[in-house]
């Protein structure tokens, strides 16, 4: 194990990948990234481009800004923008040992594993655990942050 608590294999560094929108970064995002970092020696994060976000409201912040903020988190070794049309392109380039899905992300682990297998990408798929609020009014959702802003300033 390395000095920062990450696993080491003695040879090539193990690469973990986390991915998401990361709009209006909050403690739940930080928890996910720290937990994903524990799966390898390096953590690469793929930040979705706005055009690829179809399962929820469009992000408030531009993709490059979201990438830069995610890249500033200590647990993250490198932050990447997602590909504009093929979400697996950065994964092929990074060649991870494990992809760590967020606790509440809409992705199905088996479907992701099958898609990786279809593309000849040999890596595991794991899911991060939840982060419970530490105090009563802590917000762990971008949607709830937006709702609070609208409630107070809208």
Q: Is 55 annotated as a binding residue?
A: no
d(CA 68, CA 47): 10
**Residue 14 assigned ligand-binding role:** no
Does the annotation place 22 within a ligand binding site? yes
Q: Quick check: 48 and 40 in contact, CB under 8 A?
A: no
Closest CA to 96 of 126, 129, 75, 69: 126
137 belongs to an annotated ligand binding site: no
Residue with tokens 């909050």: 26
103 close to 129: Cβ distance less than 8 angstroms: yes
Contact 76, 62 (CB under 8 A): no
To the question of whether residue 27 is assigned a binding role by annotation, the answer is: yes
d(CA 97, CA 94): 9
Q: How far apart are CA 43 and CA 48, in angstroms?
A: 16
Which residues is 103 bridged to in the sheet?
Answer: none
- Residue numbering of the annotated binding site: 21-22, 26-29, 104
Residue set of the binding site for ATP: 21-22, 26-29, 104
């Amino acid at each position: 194990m390395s000095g920062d608590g990450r696993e080491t294999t003695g040879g090539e560094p193990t690469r973990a990948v986390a991915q998401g929108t990361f709009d209006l970064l909050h403690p739940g995002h930080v928890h996910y990234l720290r937990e994903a970092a524990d799966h390898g020696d390096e953590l690469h994060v793929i930040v979705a481009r706005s055009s690829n976000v179809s399962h929820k409201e469009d992000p408030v912040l531009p993709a490059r800004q979201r990438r830069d903020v995610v890249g500033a988190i200590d647990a993250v070794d490198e932050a990447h923008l997602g590909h504009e049309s093929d979400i697996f392109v950065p994964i092929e380039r990074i060649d991870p040992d494990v992809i760590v899905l967020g606790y509440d992300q809409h992705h199905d682990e088996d479907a992701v594993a099958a898609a990786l297998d279809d593309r000849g990408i040999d890596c595991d798929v794991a899911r991060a655990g939840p982060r419970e609020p530490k105090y009563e009014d802590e917000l762990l959702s971008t949607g709830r942050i937006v709702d609070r802003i609208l409630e107070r300033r809208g």
